[in-house]
Amino acid sequence: MTELTQEQATDNKVWSQGFIKGMTEEGESLSEINPESGPLGGSAAKAHSHGGDSHGGGVGIPDSSRAGRLTSYKLADFPAITGREEDWRFTPLKRLRGLDRVGIKGQELTGAAPAVDVTKPDAVTVETVGRDDARIGKAGIPEDRVAAAAWENFTEATIVTLPEEYLGNSEDVTTLTLTGAGDTPAAAHIMVHAKKFATGVVVLDHRGTAVLSENVEILVEDGANLTVVSIQDWNDDAVHASAQHISVGRDAKVKHVVVNLGGNLLRTTPSARYTGTGGEVEMYGLYFADAGQHLEQRLFVDHSTKNCKSRVTYKGALQGDGAHAVWIGDVLIRKQAEGTDTYEMNRNLILTQGARADSVPNLEIETGMIEGAGHASATGRFDDEQLFYLQARGIQEDVARRLVVRGFLNEVIQHIKVPALEERLRDAVERELAAGSL
Amino acid sequence: MSTLEIKDLHVSIVTEQGVKAILKGVSLTINTGETHAIMGPNGSGKSTLASTIAGHPRYTVDSGSITLDGEDVLAMSVDQRARAGLFLAMQYPVEIPGVTMTNFLRTAKTAIDGEAPKLRTWTKDVKAAMAQLRIEPEFAERNVNEGFSGGEKKRHEILQLELLNPKFAILDETDSGLDVDALKVVSEGVNRTIAAGGLGTMLITHYTRILRYIKPDFVHVFVDGNIAEQGGPELADRLEAEGYDRYLDEETATA
Ligand SMILES: Nc1ncnc2c1ncn2[C@@H]1O[C@H](COP(=O)(O)OP(=O)(O)OP(=O)(O)O)[C@@H](O)[C@H]1O
Ligand SMILES: [Mg+2]
């Protein structure tokens, strides 16, 4: 029954030209921002481990196992970030504008949270609540210092609730438009709660200017079917760390979509945990990194219960000098998670020189009794031979590039299945292309 | 009637070892309605000639000229050449991930014609052309050349030829890698385009096999970057019997 697949061969074929070899091999072709590799995680982190059994089998170095990573609501539990940690080695800390140093040398996180505008169907409720609301913390716990700082510092939270057996569709979407309040470092907290058997779509639309650390809790109760789309389309100067904690109930289905477009530094860290059997998670990501942008996507799927399924598809295009995308896909299949079925995939398309993509799938498997587990990662260049072929059919160079990028990203866009969003994302991709040097 | 005229063409490429001359004074004129077979051994420069006409950036034209009805082809970009009426069916068609055949064909047709084709007739034309080339309908939704077999790629090259309606077609070893049935299907496609009128054809091949299905008016023997001999269809028969040894011996004798 066990099926382990690595799509290396296919990848080589798809990207027969310009394939960057070794992208799927951990530790190779990786361009760390903070290179001197020190001891990772360390015993301090282990001692605080939330998961209990911290022996990480599989491919990774034991210290880098997700099973052993520290989780805590308290900022003080997390040591200062040096940049050499497994979790931070790709992030340009200097550009975090202090989000990493909250509580150190007087660094505060007290700026105003983004303003929240709501459009929603009548049956869905959106409330602003205080820190002490009993629901907060039901779906998540910070897994890094930046998220813990936000957890300690937010003053009010926004809670979206889809009532029990609510039946929404892709037309009546709940949208929170979150408009940044400026560049003072700020914390925000959002919770999306789908009660039993609720079905619906919630969009978090981040805009404006912000230096923001945010926790998003996504609580999906038994039998619910929830789509959450988080769009980061900030102004060029924005810095945004968003930890999105997904709790998947028994037989629940979650589609989680990350769209990273605008901002100076975006670090989006979705993690999914299953609280019952039969849960299904689909994670999609789409990013377009321009000159000077650092877009980092780190996801974690924690298979700790039986017979759950996960599918991860992230695709990104990069263009311009210093455009940098990071994708880390941590999938952990714990010993007790028999019958797990997981597949994760990341593809990058590099359009110009000077752009850089790092892609690291980490699959840790502690049991052989699974349905399937696989990963694929490939970074391709839009190369001269492809361009020549399209031009030789009369297609102008700029049109040819657009055709390829649109086609490449469309695979993700068409899976979102929210018509209004699909159109907006296609337009956004057009704008990115037009803004580039193409 | 149109004329594609190649005059005293010298072409080189830059390799790791330095500059390498490949074409050494090729002259060839093709008129509408004519089919010219170019035959020659591996490495003699046939694909270089084809790619240079299409404008591949790897090849440097050191001297000579290519004109289409008097217009300077060498001054045109790759896409301009295609829009001027030149079509290259490639020896090794490239895979383009993320772009479906349907999308690609419509974009190419729009580019060549300068306006989008009428949706209803276009869809019908594409379907009919695919059926004639025995291409399964599901290929329309597959990405350009991605995972196609060698033979499938070649059929799709001819599909594009039929749909884009160029003035001149350069077919670079479209026959290689095809079994007899596929060869027939592809040849019929070329013959249909020729019969529809207004096509001049440069048929690059290794083997005389395809010349049983597509009748050449002229045969040119290509050796070491130049045309060593030209004649009518009977020259192909002689090559079939004798091979290229005669030309290669001459070459080593004079070297
Ligand atoms: N990119 C390149 N780098 C190095 N040499 C090249 C390159 N392209 C072509 N050549 C050389 O130029 C010469 C002509 O090649 P070309 O592909 O035009 O030959 P051909 O007649 O089409 O051969 P075949 O029958 O094998 O297709 C060969 O010696 C080849 O090795
Ligand atoms: Mg060749």
pLDDT in tens, A293-327: 999 999 999 999 999 999 999 999 999 999 999 99
Among A7-21, A256-270, A421-435, the minimum mean pLDDT is found in: A7-21
Among A12-16, A300-304, B43-47, the minimum mean pLDDT is found in: A12-16
Whole-structure pTM value:
0.78
Predicted local distance difference test score (pLDDT) of residue A66? 87
pLDDT level of residue B241 (50, 70, 90 thresholds): confident
**In terms of DSSP bridges, do strands A115-119 and A125-130 run parallel, antiparallel, or are they unpaired?**
unpaired
Helices then strands (H, E): number in chain B? 8, 12
- Nearest-CA residue for ligand 1 atom 18 is B45
> How big is the CA angle at B224 (ends B222 and B227), to the nearest 5 degrees?
35
Q: Is the pLDDT of residue A197 over 80?
A: yes
Instruction: Report d(CA A93, CA A95) in Å as an integer.
Output: 5
Average pLDDT of the segment spanning B28-53: 96
**In terms of DSSP bridges, do strands B168-172 and B86-89 run parallel, antiparallel, or are they unpaired?**
parallel
Q: Is the pLDDT of residue A19 over 60?
A: no
Contact predicate B189/B165, CB 8 Å? no
Residues of chain B neighbouring A348 (CB-CB closer than 8 A): none
Q: Is the pLDDT of residue A337 over 70?
A: yes
Predicted local distance difference test score (pLDDT) of residue A29? 43
- Nearest-CA residue for ligand 1 atom 16 is B45
Predicted local distance difference test score (pLDDT) of residue B252? 59
pLDDT level of residue A384 (50, 70, 90 thresholds): confident
Give the distance from CA A175 to its chain's centroid. Answer: 19
**B117: which DSSP letter?**
P
Predicted local distance difference test score (pLDDT) of residue A329? 98
Query: Residue A192 forms beta bridges with which residues?
Result: A160, A218
Give the distance from CA A36 to its chain's centroid. Answer: 25
Burial class (CB in 10 A: 0-12, 13-18, 19+), A319: buried
Among A79-93, A214-228, A407-421, B67-81, the minimum mean pLDDT is found in: A407-421
> How big is the CA angle at A117 (ends A111 and A121), to the nearest 5 degrees?
145
Nearest CA in chain A to B84: A394
Q: Give the tokens for residue A231.
A: 């769009």
E strand or H helix at A249, and its extent? none
Average pLDDT of the segment spanning A371-400: 92
**C-beta atoms surrounding B206 within 10 Å:** 15
Among A345-359, A407-421, B222-236, the minimum mean pLDDT is found in: A407-421
Q: Give the tokens for residue B196.
A: 């529809």
**In terms of DSSP bridges, do strands B18-31 and B3-15 run parallel, antiparallel, or are they unpaired?**
antiparallel
Q: Is the pLDDT of residue B246 over 90?
A: no
pLDDT level of residue A352 (50, 70, 90 thresholds): confident
* HSE, side-chain direction, 13 A CA sphere, residue A307: 7
Predicted local distance difference test score (pLDDT) of residue A31? 66
Average pLDDT of chain A to the nearest whole number: 87
Residues 111..130 of B with a Cβ closer than 8 Å to A: which?
A: 111-112
Predicted local distance difference test score (pLDDT) of residue A330? 97
Q: Is the pLDDT of residue A11 over 70?
A: no
State the count of interchain CB pairs (< 8 A) between A and B: 90
Taking CA atoms, A409 is separated from A230, B98, B227, in Å, by 17, 8, 47
Residue B90 near chain A (CB below 8 Å): yes
Give, to the nearest 10 degrees, the angle between helix B180-195 and helix B150-164: 10
When CB atoms are compared, the residue of A13, A386, A397 closest to B79 is A397
Query: Residue A295 forms beta bridges with which residues?
Result: A266, A325
Higher-confidence position of B61 and A434: B61
Predicted local distance difference test score (pLDDT) of residue B197? 81
pLDDT level of residue A57 (50, 70, 90 thresholds): very low
ipTM of the complex: 0.96
Instruction: Report d(CA B185, CA B199) in Å as an integer.
Output: 19
pLDDT tens digits along A74-85: 999 999 999 999
Predicted local distance difference test score (pLDDT) of residue A64? 62
Q: Is the pLDDT of residue A162 over 70?
A: yes
Q: Do B164 and A394 touch (CB under 8 A)?
A: yes
Contact predicate B65/B233, CB 8 Å? no
Residues in the 5 Å CB sphere of ion ligand 2: B 46-47, 91
Ligand 2 midpoint to CA B173 (Å): 7
Closest of B202, B223, B243, B214 to residue B54, by C-alpha:
B202
Residue B132 near chain A (CB below 8 Å): no
Predicted local distance difference test score (pLDDT) of residue A155? 97
What is the percent of chain B where pLDDT is above 90?
A: 87
- Nearest-CA residue for ligand 1 atom 25 is B42
Average pLDDT of the segment spanning B178-207: 93
Question: If you count them, how many residues does chain A have?
Answer: 438
Query: Residue B143 forms beta bridges with which residues?
Result: B100
**A167: which DSSP letter?**
B
pLDDT level of residue A70 (50, 70, 90 thresholds): very high
Q: Is the pLDDT of residue A58 over 70?
A: no
Q: Is the pLDDT of residue A406 over 70?
A: yes
Predicted local distance difference test score (pLDDT) of residue A14? 31
Provide the terminal-to-terminal Cα distance of chain B, rounded to the nearest Å: 41
What is residue B104's three-state secondary structure? helix
What is the percent of chain A where pLDDT is above 90?
A: 74
Predicted local distance difference test score (pLDDT) of residue A437? 52
Predicted local distance difference test score (pLDDT) of residue A179? 98
Residues of chain A neighbouring B90 (CB-CB closer than 8 A): 389, 392
Residues of chain B neighbouring A345 (CB-CB closer than 8 A): none
Query: Residue A200 forms beta bridges with which residues?
Result: A226
Where helices occur in B55-100 by DSSP H, the ranges are 78-84
Q: Is the pLDDT of residue B227 over 90?
A: yes
Average pLDDT of the segment spanning A242-262: 98
pLDDT tens digits along A104-115: 999 999 999 999
pLDDT level of residue A18 (50, 70, 90 thresholds): very low
Residues of chain A neighbouring B95 (CB-CB closer than 8 A): 13-14, 16, 386
Contact predicate B38/B49, CB 8 Å? yes
Contact predicate A375/A344, CB 8 Å? yes
- Nearest-CA residue for ligand 1 atom 7 is B13
Contact predicate A99/A53, CB 8 Å? no
Give, to the nearest 10 degrees, the angle between helix B101-113 and helix B119-132: 120
Average pLDDT of the segment spanning A34-55: 37
pLDDT level of residue A432 (50, 70, 90 thresholds): confident
Where helices occur in B134-255 by DSSP H, the ranges are 150-164, 180-195, 233-242, 245-254
Predicted local distance difference test score (pLDDT) of residue B253? 53
When CB atoms are compared, the residue of A380, A393, A400 closest to B164 is A393
Contact predicate B97/A408, CB 8 Å? yes
Contact predicate B96/B144, CB 8 Å? yes
E strand or H helix at B131, and its extent? helix B119-132
Predicted local distance difference test score (pLDDT) of residue A425? 92
Ligand nearest to the CA of B91: 2
Q: What are the backbone dihedrals phi and psi of residue A177, each rounded to the nearest 5 degrees, phi first? A: -95, 120
Average pLDDT of chain B to the nearest whole number: 94
Contact predicate A222/A248, CB 8 Å? no
